[in-house]
Amino acid sequence: MASDANPATILLVDDDDSLRRFIRHVLAGQGFQVVEAGNGAEALKAASEHAGPIHLLLTDVIMPRINGLVLADLLLRDRPDTRVLYLSGYVESSMLLARRPGSILLQKPCTPDCLIAAVHHALDLKKQQ
């Protein structure tokens, strides 16, 4: 787990550029290190180029080509300690995630306070395991 000297690193993936910039701004304002990508392929490349740990994958569920569920599966093969927090504006996403025990879904849109609370919750679950 990250400490105050080494903030948690979050891989943020969303194909909506303006939303991704907003989320990055909120997370960076809370002291998190943010690595961002606009799609699943970019995220996998960014993760392979990132030398340190990735504490949390914060990913949109519905994206073109590589959706958030597939992205999480691929990322966790190489980084099994990474926690995953899914984002979605679609009700159908909750049905997809129902088949994944322990998955955390944050509905879009959400407030910055709700986002930060969900991130802390996901990171705290990592400490408990």
122 has a pLDDT exceeding 60: yes
Query: What is the number of structural domains in the chain?
Result: 1
Give the residue numbers spanning the domain of 102: 9-128
Compute the distance between CA of residue 25 and CA of residue 100 in angstroms, rounded to an integer. 29
17 has a pLDDT exceeding 70: yes
Place of tokens 């509905």: 107
Structural domain includes residue 35: yes
Mean pLDDT of the chain: 87
Structural domain includes residue 118: yes
Structural domain includes residue 78: yes
Q: Mean pLDDT throughout 80-94? A: 82
**pLDDT confidence of residue 40:** 97
Q: Residue 32 maps to which CATH number? A: 3.40.50.2300
Place of tokens 């590589």: 66
Structural domain includes residue 1: no
Q: What is the pLDDT of residues 34-58, one digit of tens each?
A: 999 999 999 999 999 999 999 999 9
DSSP calls for the chain: ---SSSPPEEEEE-S-HHHHHHHHHHHHHTT-EEEEESSHHHHHHHHHH--S---EEEEESS-SSS-HHHHHHHHHHH-TT-EEEEEES-THHHHHHTTSTT-EEEESS--HHHHHHHHHHHHHHHHH-
For the entire predicted model, the pTM comes to 0.89
Structural domain includes residue 106: yes
106 has a pLDDT exceeding 70: yes
